[in-house]
Chains A and B, each alone.
Chain A
Amino acid sequence: MTRKFLFLSLLLSALLLSFSSAGFAAGSQSEEGGEDPTGFIMHHVKDSHEWHFFNIGHTHVTLPLPVITYASDRGLEFYMSSDFQNHETHQFGEENAHNGIFIDSHEHLGRVDGGAILDFSITKNVAMMFIVIALVLYMALSAAGHYKRNGAVAPKGVASLVEPIVIFVRDEIAEKSIGPRYKKFVPYLLTLFFFIWIGNLLGLLPGAANLTGNIAVTFTLATLTFILVNINGNKDYWKHVFATPGVPLPLLPIIVVVEFIGLFTKPFALMVRLFVAITAGHIVILAFIALVFIFESYAIGVVSTLMVTFINMIELLVATIQAYVFTLFTAMYIGGAVAEHAHDDHH
């Protein structure tokens, strides 16, 4: 169902994007102050060094964020994103260099002297991540506090919200996918689920960052899953990869290569799935909103609003489904790594 939706939403967004850019191509240049819809969408979907909320006329309502840089010869340096901007247009660019450092129009950090510099800025997504983490911490800790205060009693307050999810993850995801040794992995799966779920949900808020739709975030989560799966891989698991049972010897080199690649494609699929599902959803919503500005028609406005509301509803579902799917697949990969196979006897 998720996959179907994913496909649909990608198709829809691709259609809308091509449609809107095509429709826009004529009007965009002629219109003064008009935005390129692809840029408008991408601006919202991608990470940024400042948190841009909205414009009132020509006034940008933004939250400047810290820019932290590291260069081997300069050490750690701290700035604010507003240091690197044109104060009128809020544009980043080489011409707004500050202290020998600039942020280019693609939001890449650079040095005027051309040296290497690393970017450890608290970007919009990092700030968003802190908010998500704070919320997850609040939920989980206050739920845990309920049990700490009252002992093993019925849930109340936040615990009523958190507990069913905890039980669901434990019983439906961990126990069913991992098997008898599931208990060790439940805390990781819970953290994963709550982080992705809250990230997905908060990402739907207007003005919020597209945290879980950022490839760096999904990459990190998938990497952690990859590490967890492989350090827990038992003899059977590795045997399956490097000496796949039941495969004729001539085929073994090919199979081993395939199995070895499979180690990496699993987390890669995790990374791409979450990234695409969330980003695509955002793109669809933004595309519908962009339609209003392209056509500048009330009728389109009404239709767009209806569609955006509808897609938002679906996105609420997708937010949960994707958190579930990421957690479920992680649990299944762990289950594959720790399972005691009984197939050794038939070859």
Chain B
Amino acid sequence: MDLILPSSGLIFWQLIAFLALLFILIKFAWKPMLAALEERETSIDNALKAAEQARNEMASLKAENEKLLQDARLERDTILRKAQEASAKMIEEAKSEAGKQGALMIENAKAVIETEKKAALTEVKNQVALLTLEVTEKLLRKNLSEDKAQKELVDEFIKDLKLN
């Protein structure tokens, strides 16, 4: 067989076998394989994009969280401040209220004491008048004869009473 002259038999077999190989490989190997590769590349691409997106979302979420936290802190501070102010105010109010209440109670107590004192004095006066009457009665019964002495005595009593 010649080196540089193609032989028809080999061309024949080569043509048939190569075309068969081409057909089988295209149908059963290259097409499914290229499709799978493309699918994989797309899915890798998508996964990378999704990861990137997730990262971005994560970052924005983090920033948002940070902001929320900051807001919450500010809010807490405000609330605390307000609460302190409120409690201080309440204490102040309670104090002044208590002071007023105390003063009022003292006032009332003084008034009651005054009334009681007056009532007691009136009572004492009444008692004294009663006693005086009894004493007078007794004296009158005993010393009706001695008119002069009686008169003196009565005057004296009256004097005393007036002094009272």
Q: Which residues of A contact B (CB under 8 A)?
A: 42, 45-48, 68, 106-108, 118-123, 125-126, 129-130, 133, 136-137, 140-141, 143-144, 147-148, 151-154, 162-163, 166-167, 170, 183, 186-188, 190-191, 194-195, 214-217, 219-221, 224, 275, 279
Contact = CB atoms under 8 A, between A and B. Distances in A.
A148 B29 CA distance: 10
Contact of A216 (B10, B30, B32): B10
Contacts of A106: 1-2
B8 interface: yes
A188 B18 CA distance: 11
B36 A120 contact: no
A225 to B, nearest CB: 11
A167 B30 CA distance: 11
Interface in B53-82: none
A108 B10 CA distance: 13
A191 B7 contact: no
Contacts of B14: 126, 129, 216-217, 220-221
A141 B3 contact: no
Contacts of A118: 8-9
The 6 closest A-B pairs by CB, nearest first: A147-B36, A216-B6, A140-B29, A152-B40, A216-B10, A187-B30
B3 A46 contact: yes
B163 interface: no
Interface of B: 1-15, 17-22, 24-26, 28-34, 36-37, 39-40, 43
Given A144-B30, A147-B36, 20 more contacts: A42-B3, A47-B1, A118-B9, A119-B7, A119-B8, A120-B13, A129-B13, A136-B21, A137-B25, A137-B29, A140-B29, A144-B29, A144-B32, A163-B33, A166-B37, A215-B3, A220-B18, A221-B14, A224-B15, A279-B3
Contacts of A107: 1
Contacts of B18: 133, 191, 195, 220-221, 224
A308 to B, nearest CB: 21
A130 B17 contact: yes
Binding site of A, secondary structure by majority: helix, strand, loop or mixed? helix
A187 B32 CA distance: 11
Contacts of A121: 9
Contacts of B4: 215, 275
12 contacts: A107-B1, A120-B12, A137-B24, A147-B36, A151-B36, A162-B33, A163-B33, A187-B30, A214-B10, A215-B4, A215-B5, A220-B18
B34 A195 contact: no
Contacts of B34: 166, 170, 183, 186-187
Given A144-B33, A166-B37, A220-B14, A190 B25 contact: yes
A183 B36 CA distance: 14
A334 to B, nearest CB: 15
Given A144-B29, A191-B26, A216 B37 contact: no
A187 B37 CA distance: 13
Identify the interface centre among A45, A122, A147, A151: most chain B CB within 10 Å of its CB.
A147
Contacts of B25: 136-137, 140-141, 187, 190-191, 194
Contacts of A126: 9-10, 13-14, 17
B6 A219 contact: yes
Contacts of A125: 10
A220 B11 contact: yes
A144 B28 contact: yes
B43 A47 contact: no
B10 to A, nearest CB: 4
Contact of B9 (A119, A153, A187): A119
Nearest to B34: A186
Contact of A46 (B2, B22, B33, B37): B2
Given A190-B25, A195-B21, A123 B36 contact: no
A194 B30 CA distance: 11
Contacts of A186: 30, 34
Given A126-B13, A129-B14, A133-B17, A141 B36 contact: no
A295 to B, nearest CB: 26
Contacts of B8: 118-119, 216
B29 A141 contact: yes
A153 B21 CA distance: 26
A328 B150 CA distance: 166
A147 B39 CA distance: 11
A129 B17 contact: yes
